[in-house]
Amino acid sequence: MPQYQKYAENWTLAANTSLWGYWLTWENIPGVGPNMGPLLIGADPVSHQSAEVDLAVFDLAKCRRAPDANGKTEVFYQFGFRNLSQIDAAFGFEVILFKDLMP
């Protein structure tokens, strides 16, 4: 069963700009495995802004860290946000996890 997570970060991104290099991981959380994918990520515009807001998530990549002392290579996801609007836009983001598809 897919799992929905909302991250109300409340960032503001200037009109026609991008934010790159955000990453998401579940490493070092007791009782939670690090390999949580596959997943979908969406930008979540804050309501009642002064004009239409158009945000895009781009360059979503599933990555692995270098091996640790035990030889484990933890998974993390890296991505960016692009504001295609004519105004500075406030937003958070949301994730849908499909971890039940993992073997």
- Which domain range does residue 52 map to? 3-101
Phi-psi group of 31: left, alpha or beta (phi > 0 → left; psi -120 to 50 → alpha; rest → beta)? left
Q: pLDDT per position in the chain (103 positions), as tens? A: 888 999 877 899 999 999 998 888 877 777 666 677 788 999 999 999 999 999 999 999 988 888 888 887 788 899 999 999 999 999 999 999 887 776 6
Count: domains in the chain: 1
- Other beta carbons less than 10 A from residue 36's beta carbon: 21
Instruction: For residue 60, give the H/E element and its range.
Output: strand 55-64
Q: Of 97, 80, 81, whose CA–CA distance to 38 is shortest?
A: 97
Backbone angles phi, psi at 92, to 5 degrees: -125, -160
Q: Output the pTM of the full model.
A: 0.83
